[in-house]
Amino acid sequence: MTEGFAPTPTERAVGAIGARLWWAAPAAAALVTAALAELSIGREPIQADEAQRLGLADGPIGRLWETAWNDDLAHLTTNLFWKPWLAIAGSSEEAVRYPSVIFAGLAATVTVLIGKQLLGWLAGAVAGLAMATSGFVLGTALHAASPALALFLVTAATYALLRATDGDRLPWWLAYVLLMALTATASLAAVSVLAAHIALLALRRPARVTVAAAAVGAVIALVAGYVVLLARTDAWRLDWLDSPTARSVGEALWAITGSNPVIAVAALAGLVALGLRYVPRADLSTAVLLGLWLIAPLLATLAVSLWRPAFSSDYLVAMAPALALAAGATVAAARRWQAAWIAGAFALAAGASVSTVDALRTDTGVDWRAAARYVAAKRA
């Protein structure tokens, strides 16, 4: 559906600018994320789970391993990332949350790179901006917890897979396996994106099929082994969750959009445009990748909830990059309608502004520093 369209003068001008300046978009996405997070990073007191992380990561390394082996394997990777940082930066409200800001910014950066590879530089830049200004992503960045790390890892793993399928280089395949294994340790629900990866490989058929199959097999084996260990140590972690309802699912999906109806509509329009082949450069594999990436975490958590409640918006964090990329696809599809493109850009900017302001409007509450000291004493 995209053949036969000659570039307009506007498109040629935008393309020329993009060829020279596209490299700035990934850095800009990270900087916007960091700048917005900085506005509110220290306003909210340390929360209970952050206090526990401080108590563990600020202690001896042996305590981390002991706690992970006994009852907290799910947070071992996160604690290991935080430990050296806390040793250098201290344990203020700002310091303990900066790693999350960094991971969220890196996720926005990698989203730009994925968008450029799949949809073109302009769509990638829009997707990165959507990530950087998302109320949900900013909320993740302002909390010292696993979702921000999982957000970066699953995005980086997808980018590594795209590079591996295009260049068929072994280092990218190895990076993909490592990143997906780490993703499982940060958020098991995020590994459901593997379904989208397998579909992409089936449609693109990489040159070395055996290498691709070995990489996927290695990911499945590593994740399965981790699940076995997790069932032994951390099965109790789902006890606090209630069974999902239509209302809780709707609220979680609304949270993923950053409470921004414009992003929700743009993402839906982008998926439709991809399915109808209205997006230049995008083939069927792109539509399948983004579609499955968007719904896999939701379906996985709902499926597990049939056995045991396992649904929370935190477990849907892997959906955020796919949502942003789908919104970027809308911009890529509007190549022949400049008026629609301009109106859409203004609408996205307005929606992002409202959701961002809402995300940064943080209420102060109980001082959890006493809880941090209490947890540290109990762990000792």
More confident residue, 303 or 111: 111
Q: What is the pLDDT of residues 19-39, one digit of tens each?
A: 556 677 788 888 888 888 877
Q: Is residue 5 part of a domain?
A: no
Query: What average pLDDT score do residues 246-264 get?
Result: 86
Lowest mean pLDDT among 140-149, 164-173, 332-341: 332-341
Q: Is residue 371 pLDDT above 70, yes or no? A: no
Structure tokens at 262: 């414009």
Q: Is residue 234 pLDDT above 60, yes or no? A: no
Q: Are 131 and 137 in contact (CB under 8 A)?
A: yes
Q: Is residue 319 part of a domain?
A: yes
User: Furthest-apart CA pair in the chain: how many Å?
Assistant: 70
Q: Is residue 11 part of a domain?
A: no
Q: Is residue 205 part of a domain?
A: yes
- Give the dihedral sign, CA 89/94/97/100: negative
Contacts of 119 (CB under 8 A, 6+ apart): 127, 279, 281, 282, 286, 325, 328, 329, 332
Q: Which domain holds residue 273?
A: 21-367
Q: Is residue 368 pLDDT above 60, yes or no? A: no
Please tell me the predicted confidence (pLDDT) of residue 325. Answer: 95
Q: Is residue 87 part of a domain?
A: yes
Q: Are 81 and 138 in contact (CB under 8 A)?
A: no
Domain total of the chain: 1
Q: Is residue 7 part of a domain?
A: no
Q: Is residue 133 part of a domain?
A: yes
Lowest mean pLDDT among 254-258, 282-286, 368-372: 368-372
CA–CA dist 172, 205 (Å, integer):
16
Amino acid at 215: A
Q: Is residue 13 part of a domain?
A: no
Write 63-67 long-range contacts (CB < 8 A, 24+).
63/379, 63/380, 67/379
